[in-house]
Amino acid sequence: MKIVVLRTWIALLAATASLPVTAQQVPRRKAVVRSTKPNYEVRGQLTNAPAGTRVYITDFVAGKHVPLDSALTDADGRFRVRGAVAGPVLRNLRVHGREQAAGLALTPGSHLQVRGDATQLWRTGEVTGSKEVVALSAMNREHARILKRVDELAQQRQATTDTVALRKIEQEWSASFAAMTAASKRVASTSSYVAPFVAASFLSGGNGDIAFVDSATTRYARQWPTSPYTKQLLRYQVMRRATVVGQVAPAIQLPTPESQLLALSSLRGKYVLVDFWASWCKPCREENASLVRLYRQYQPKGFEVYGVSVDSKKDAWTTAIQQDKLPWSQVWDVPSETSVASTVYDIYQYPTSFLLDPQGRIIAKDLRGAALAQKLAELLP
């Protein structure tokens, strides 16, 4: 099984859910243009929010909540936040000291109502006041319910080695993410300014439906051309098209463990497997043993591997290289807003690999184990 890295599940998963899912950051967006006169209002009542609890309207930028407007709760947990937006936007309602947040769909003139538990806003927050925010709120609560079960399945998977039990866990795991995708599609299919946000956040990654996203992006470009989420989807589309079979692999030049820059192009003239992996990725580590055997067999015939680690810590990366006895070229792609994995190769799941011909063209993607062995046998008999 691949480890899926969900792109936001970016604005919500990384921002709001305390679950073991790694998220990459979205490109930084420009600050919201705000008028001086309030043009929206969010009222609500929260449980577990004593008098004086600060409630914020936030934007989620570069992995952090940025407060825009705020208010204090009264003795009954009631609050009223007023602010201004220049046009349709997606924001979050967040309680001070809590990571979880409730998604808000705001436009000039919005009057929204919120109810929920201040300690679990993403899972319990029910927002009303417009058809857009009702759809977003319902989808978020469904996602939260499913992800709670996914978290339980992850713990069960770590606690058992029984093959029958593991097979059942994997089946429910896949069904759970399919249900999340279906919930996202229902909102992404609507003619609403929320649709591009949902497609960009929940459908554009490895757990999404690329054909659906491409079709939807074309529609959004006509209907919501100025939406930052439409623009984000168009960037993703460009990246995907640059890494299809037949294209020359995009350039990579990253530091080795010795801090020397090594370009992918330096391996031209050989068949090269560009392998995106990480020390924390169990399927990656399991695959390394097979890849070491294939490397020893085919390297003398013209096969090379260009390993690209997405570890956040150098020590973890170099230790894994030593433990797995990896003999091929290795470079380090530190997770960031400008990383090669997220902004050039559009990668959301690990391991991910690209097999290149001697001219640097992509001839296959994600070949592992027996499939890679068969392909190499054909190319380098």
Structure tokens at 104: 């808000």
Residues 56, 187: contact at Cβ < 8 Å? no
Q: Among the listed ranges 15-29, 34-48, 69-83, which one has the minimum average pLDDT value? A: 15-29
Dihedrals φ, ψ of 143, to 5°? Answer: -60, -45
* pLDDT at position 205: 62
Answer with the residue of higher pLDDT: 162 or 60.
162
Radius of gyration of the chain (CA): 23
* pLDDT at position 232: 86
* pLDDT at position 62: 61
Instruction: Tell me which residue of 175, 59, 235, 62 sits closest to 70, measured CA to CA.
Output: 59
Residues 139, 184: contact at Cβ < 8 Å? yes
Angle at 9 (CA atoms; ends 130, 314), nearest 5 degrees: 155
Q: What single letter denotes the amino acid at residue 312?
A: S
Task: Answer yes or no: is pLDDT of 2 > 70.
Answer: no
Q: What is the percent of the chain where pLDDT is above 90? A: 62
Average pLDDT, the chain: 86
pLDDT digits (tens, 9 = 90+) for 101-114: 899 999 999 999 99
pLDDT digits (tens, 9 = 90+) for 217-227: 999 999 999 99
Give the contacts of 231 (CB within 8 A, at least 6 positions apart).
none
Task: Answer yes or no: is pLDDT of 246 > 80.
Answer: yes
* pLDDT at position 208: 56
Give the contacts of 334 (CB within 8 A, at least 6 positions apart).
311, 312
pLDDT digits (tens, 9 = 90+) for 30-75: 333 444 688 999 999 999 999 999 999 998 776 677 899 999 999 9
* pLDDT at position 248: 95
pLDDT digits (tens, 9 = 90+) for 255-300: 999 999 999 999 999 999 999 999 999 889 999 999 999 999 999 9
> Which part of the chain is CATH 3.40.30.10?
253-379
Task: Answer yes or no: is pLDDT of 131 > 90.
Answer: yes
Q: Give the pLDDT band (50/70/90) at residue 81.
A: very high
pLDDT digits (tens, 9 = 90+) for 184-195: 999 999 999 999
CATH no. for 253-379: 3.40.30.10
* pLDDT at position 21: 31
* pLDDT at position 39: 92
pLDDT digits (tens, 9 = 90+) for 310-331: 999 999 999 999 999 999 999 9
Sheet bearing 352-356, strands edge to edge: 329-332, 303-309, 271-277, 352-356, 362-365
